[in-house]
Amino acid sequence: NGMRLFSGGDDEQIIVWQQQETQWIRCERRRTPGPYEGLNIYGVTGIHGEQQRTLLSLGAVEQVPVSPIQRQRHNLPTPLMPLYGRQEDMQRILDQLTHGESRLLAIVGEGGIGKTHVVLEVARTIIGLGHHPHFHRPQQQLFPDGIWFVNTAAIPAGARCVELLITSIGSVLSLSFDQHSSLADQLTNQLRERKLLLILDNFEHLRQYVTDFLSELLHKAAQIKIVITSRHHLEFFAQDVHRLQGLLTPDPAQIHDNETLLQYASVRLFVEQAKRVTGTFALSPANRAAVIWLCRFMNGLPLGIKLAAAQLVNYSLDEVVVRAQRDLSTLISSAADLPKHQHSLHALLQNSWEDLPTHLAKLLAYCTVFEDTFSDAAAKALADVSHNAVDELVHRCLLHPVHDGRYIIHEFVRTFIHTQPQNASLLVAARCQHATYYAQLLDRIGRRKQSNVENFHLLSQEIANIRSAWQWIVEQPNLHLLQQSIEGFAYLHERLGQLTEASRAIAAAITAVNSFLSSARTDATDAAEGLDTPAFAKEVVADLHIAYATFMEMGGDLDTTQSSAQCVIDYGNALARPRLQAHGYYLMALQAQHRGQLQIAMEWAQQSAAVAIEHELVGLQITAQNLQGILHDMLGSHSSAVACYKAVLPLAIESQDYFHERLLVNNLGIVALATGAWDAAKVYLERNLTLSEQAGNPIKHAYALMNHAFLLNALGLYEPARKELFQGLILARTAHHRQAEVYMLQFLSLTDFYGGRAHSGVKFAEEALTLIEEHQFTGLKAAALAFLGHNYLALDQMERAHACYQESIKLWQAMGNRLEIGTVFIANAYSLLRLGRLAEALHYTEATLGMLDTILANNAMEAMWTIIGCYFVLHEANDDRSYPILYRGYQWLTQQAEAIHDPEMRKAYLNNIYPHRLVIRAMRTHSNQQVEPASTNKVSSYASTGA
């Protein structure tokens, strides 16, 4: 048996030979087994004394039988420490062993994760020695022949490992073997009828040599089950795999008290181990952060946590943190109850690292440059390895799957690889590949033109890696990768609403490239490609200023916007780059628009469009002419606005520029709404909602919700409009997009005025005005003041209303917007009428009447408010024009109702809007001689319910 041989001898005896060095020495004689060898005849009846003696001479025995209670059923070692936080793992393993059909269970996890401890606790629970809430009674009947633990760590890998494994199993089970057949056959024959659980611990180094043997054993010994603990997956179809993860760790961003922290198994393990080595350790506000950091750094790895806690014998907690960050080899222990290979986390990882083939070592090193999680595609692209290489590292528990096909590498593994001197050049190459990959990804799917939900989702998952790549690119600086990244980097942060983070990153990039320019260095790659590096660097700075100015405009810093826009223009002129010139002019127009300088903004926008058209810069042409349309709209010229939008909409569609298509469709919807083209407005604005959802841009979707709310307001559907505006407000605030936030607050104020919620209307208008003052959004102030005045009017606070209207009128006059002035004139006239200042009220009414045709043609949402206001003032003054004005509004309302083909929309339009009901009611108070019957009957039939 292994180291012994048996041979026949005289007198029915067997000679036993023992090998000593190169000699075989006879060490004992044994009697040849008789035919009744081992038969127990204790208590047998029906045989007499001579028969009994004969049976004994032929090998039978006469012994008191051992009771089942006395018979050993396991060899499980008793754990010296409690198990922390593995209830769910134990439950699943118990279920698989007691109810599952699979007979091979692999407990897989990195070294030090606690595989052995968990499986031993499960085994002890089954035989009644452990404790588990769902197993109150022992389950030894499941394995009547016992549960047996075999530590395979000492078995060397190689050709003889199957033979050595069999003898180890035989030794544990007290089996004997002979030379008449193979050891494998003898083992399977002896286990064929047994029902037992075999635990093979530390199995990873044997996996490639013994799978055939395990398969044969499971086939022939059909009642046994095997549990394997390993750092690597087995290549075995008929296995169940349970992968152990690290213990749960707390989120450092949350505030935890001691009681809450100790609910986390990782923290509890650290604290208990620290108490064992120091005798006095306790959690406190001063050390909580360090404890959390260590637990998270180790990713809940029990061995790492215990080794870190063990250092408290000689070092403070803060020193342990520093040592762990700097060099894992300092975390060591000589504890006698730790397996030798677990005395150092560094040594454990060194063993795994040295076991890796070259291509997997390269891939693992490349994976350490990822921040947070990463995709399989990104890892393979960086390291240029085969499609299943990532899976191989997962099987070795060096990478860990998280969710959605993404992976993570534990921080202590990253630290180990980064502290290996031989990896330095490999890591430099990895960083370069990482930056190149994400720059190309941003260039390919991150630009505005490629905006859609799928691309946004993919990029948002990669935000940590994108920022890391950006930082490396800026530090070099690598001008070509930087230029590739700028638009996608900026637009992704805009969509995520992370304007502050993006602004800081872009400002740092501007500083880095300016420093590059001032040092007058020449990049070898650029020189090889024949590029003028300083000129190219200036172009990159200009592109950075475009992104920076855009974020400053969104955040309300118009002075910085103007300064950066001027830089773009200057670089465009110096480098003769029409693209930069056109973009700089556009940014100038944008900041002038927000300052309320509409004519100046128009001039800048026209310059931008002219350069774009001359040089066939289609995207910039669309951008500039869209802004021209917006400015025409703000100046009250809807026909000019529509002409601008329709001129470039085909260009956007033809070039598949969904971003600008959405903008143009939105703006056409707003004009249709203002001019009373209700059906067209509905089509445009609902299309805009769909496009904004597809784009995956929260700010653009907020604006789409706002503009759709205009349509709902125009139909008197105030509650749905209010709901959509609140959704938009949440999106704007989440994104810290102050301009969008102002718009949402303004139109919530107006909606609440329409819907009879004047108190909240005042609150929203005041919030908007606070932001306007803070961020210099002067162009938005006139509307906010007008809406505040409307709500004061509804609250019968006429002095306040009048003051708001007066200031609003001055601002609209400064911007040259006659259309909006007209609607504020009549509101101001009504406030003066209520204050008893009839002469002044008539003055503003006369001014409004001079613009009435323009208002009816271009401001359908405010038309009836204007009509009813003029009517009240003139009626109070006994002016003969009061009834003709009322009748004109009545006719206009009839025409608008006829233009609405949807019956439900038409009914809402006539019944839900307060001034519409007032006009109808006022008309009914006049005699039949004063009202044209056809018109009266038509409106009455439309508004039969609620009018």
Is residue 939 over pLDDT 60? no
How does strand 4-8 pair with strand 13-20? antiparallel
Tokens of 796: 């019968």
pLDDT of residue 92: 92
pLDDT of residue 69: 41
pLDDT of residue 902: 81
Mean confidence (pLDDT) of the chain: 85
Find where tokens 């029409």 sit.
Answer: 578
45 pLDDT band (50/70/90 cuts)? low
655 pLDDT band (50/70/90 cuts)? confident
Give the separation between CA 657 and CA 663, rounded to whole angstroms. Answer: 10
**How many other β-carbons are positioned within 10 Å of the β-carbon of residue 573?**
12
Closest CA to 37 of 138, 176, 169, 241: 176
3-state secondary structure of 14: strand
873 pLDDT band (50/70/90 cuts)? very high
Give the separation between CA 728 and CA 724, rounded to whole angstroms. Answer: 6
Q: CATH code for 356-419? A: 1.10.10.10
Query: Which of the pair, 183 or 577, is modelled with greater confidence?
Result: 577
Q: In what order do the strands lie in the sheet with 197-201?
A: 147-151, 197-201, 225-230, 104-108, 239-243
Q: Is residue 477 reached through a cis peptide bond, with omega within 30 degrees of 0 on the bond before it?
A: yes
pLDDT of residue 901: 82
Domain locations in the chain as residue ranges? 4-57, 87-243, 258-344, 356-419, 449-651, 828-947
Q: How far is CA 934 from CA 152, 656, 937, 940, in A?
A: 101, 50, 5, 10
Residue 864 identity (one-letter amino acid): M
Which of 341-355, 657-671, 708-722, 880-894 is least confident? 341-355
**DSSP conformational letter for 66:** P
Inter-residue contact 215 to 188 (CB < 8 Å): no
Percent of the chain with pLDDT over 90: 43
Give the separation between CA 728 and CA 367, rounded to whole angstroms. Answer: 39
* Widest distance between CA atoms in the chain: 147
Find where tokens 């191989």 sit.
Answer: 392
Give the separation between CA 908 and CA 715, rounded to whole angstroms. Answer: 6
What Rg do the C-alpha atoms of the chain give, in angstroms?
Answer: 42
Tokens of 668: 């056409």
Which of 39-48, 464-473, 477-486 is least confident? 39-48
Tokens of 359: 């291509």
3-state secondary structure of 407: strand
pLDDT of residue 524: 46
709 pLDDT band (50/70/90 cuts)? very high
Is residue 8 over pLDDT 60? no
Residue 756 identity (one-letter amino acid): G
- Which helix (H) or strand (E) element contains residue 378? helix 376-383
Closest CA to 587 of 566, 556, 613: 566
Task: Give the distance from CA 505 to its chain's centroid.
Answer: 20
Is residue 895 over pLDDT 70? yes
Beta-carbon contacts of 99 under 8 Å, excluding residues fewer than 6 positions away, are none
Is residue 302 over pLDDT 50? yes
Sign of the CA dihedral running 528, 531, 533, 537: negative
Could you say which of 3.40.50.1820, 3.40.50.720, 3.30.565.10, 3.40.50.300 is the CATH number of the domain covering 87-243?
3.40.50.300
Beta-carbon contacts of 938 under 8 Å, excluding residues fewer than 6 positions away, are 894, 897, 898
Give the separation between CA 654 and CA 656, rounded to whole angstroms. Answer: 5
Tokens of 213: 């043997």
Give the separation between CA 746 and CA 800, rounded to whole angstroms. Answer: 18
pLDDT mean over 883-902: 87
For the segment 526-547, what is each residue's pLDDT rounded down to a tens digit? 444 444 589 999 999 999 999 9
pLDDT mean over 67-96: 81
3-state secondary structure of 877: coil
In 766-874, where do the E strands start and end?
A: none
For the segment 247-300, what is each residue's pLDDT rounded down to a tens digit? 999 988 787 888 889 999 999 999 999 999 898 899 999 999 999 999 998 989
Inter-residue contact 792 to 818 (CB < 8 Å): no
138 pLDDT band (50/70/90 cuts)? low
Give the separation between CA 719 and CA 727, rounded to whole angstroms. Answer: 13
Phi, psi of 117 (to 5 degrees): -60, -45
pLDDT of residue 34: 59
pLDDT of residue 934: 37
Is residue 91 over pLDDT 80? yes
Which of 54-63, 253-262, 772-781 is least confident? 54-63
Residue 675 identity (one-letter amino acid): T
Residue 114 identity (one-letter amino acid): G
Q: With 0-12 CB in 10 A as exposed, 13-18 as middle and 19+ as buried, what is 616?
A: exposed
Tokens of 69: 């209670």
pLDDT of residue 133: 56
pLDDT of residue 942: 37
For the segment 65-78, what is each residue's pLDDT rounded down to a tens digit? 544 444 568 889 88
How does strand 374-375 pair with strand 406-408? antiparallel
Is residue 926 over pLDDT 80? no
449-651 CATH fold: 1.25.40
pLDDT of residue 641: 92
Is residue 56 over pLDDT 80? no
Is residue 6 over pLDDT 60? no
Inter-residue contact 238 to 226 (CB < 8 Å): no
pLDDT of residue 924: 81
Query: Which of the pair, 921 or 829, is modelled with greater confidence?
Result: 829
**DSSP conformational letter for 226:** E
pLDDT of residue 430: 94
Is residue 13 over pLDDT 70? no
Closest CA to 900 of 921, 919, 923, 916: 916
Is residue 161 over pLDDT 70? yes
pLDDT mean over 787-796: 95
Question: How close are the terminal C-alpha atoms of the chain, in Å?
Answer: 106
Percent of the chain with pLDDT over 70: 88
Phi, psi of 58 (to 5 degrees): -95, 10
Inter-residue contact 572 to 586 (CB < 8 Å): no
Find where tokens 């390993």 sit.
Answer: 230
pLDDT of residue 63: 61
pLDDT of residue 129: 77
Give the separation between CA 577 and CA 562, rounded to whole angstroms. Answer: 19
pLDDT of residue 940: 42
For the segment 565-615, what is each residue's pLDDT rounded down to a tens digit? 999 999 999 999 999 999 999 999 999 988 878 899 999 999 999 999 999
Find where tokens 């009611």 sit.
Answer: 921
pLDDT of residue 771: 92
3-state secondary structure of 475: helix
- Which helix (H) or strand (E) element contains residue 150? strand 147-151
Closest CA to 632 of 847, 823, 826, 818: 818
pLDDT of residue 777: 79
Inter-residue contact 111 to 342 (CB < 8 Å): yes
pLDDT mean over 149-177: 89
**How many other β-carbons are positioned within 10 Å of the β-carbon of residue 479?**
21
pLDDT of residue 943: 37
pLDDT of residue 486: 97
Tokens of 46: 């029906």
Inter-residue contact 940 to 895 (CB < 8 Å): no
846 pLDDT band (50/70/90 cuts)? very high
For the segment 362-413, what is each residue's pLDDT rounded down to a tens digit? 999 999 999 989 999 999 899 888 778 998 898 888 898 888 889 999 888 8
pLDDT mean over 868-883: 90
Give the separation between CA 650 and CA 219, rounded to whole angstroms. Answer: 71
How does strand 23-31 pair with strand 225-230? unpaired
pLDDT mean over 133-140: 57
Q: How far is CA 709 from CA 37, 416, 643, 718, 819, in A?
A: 96, 56, 24, 8, 21
Which of 292-301, 336-345, 794-803 reaches the highest mean pLDDT? Answer: 794-803
pLDDT mean over 179-201: 89
**How many other β-carbons are positioned within 10 Å of the β-carbon of residue 32?**
12
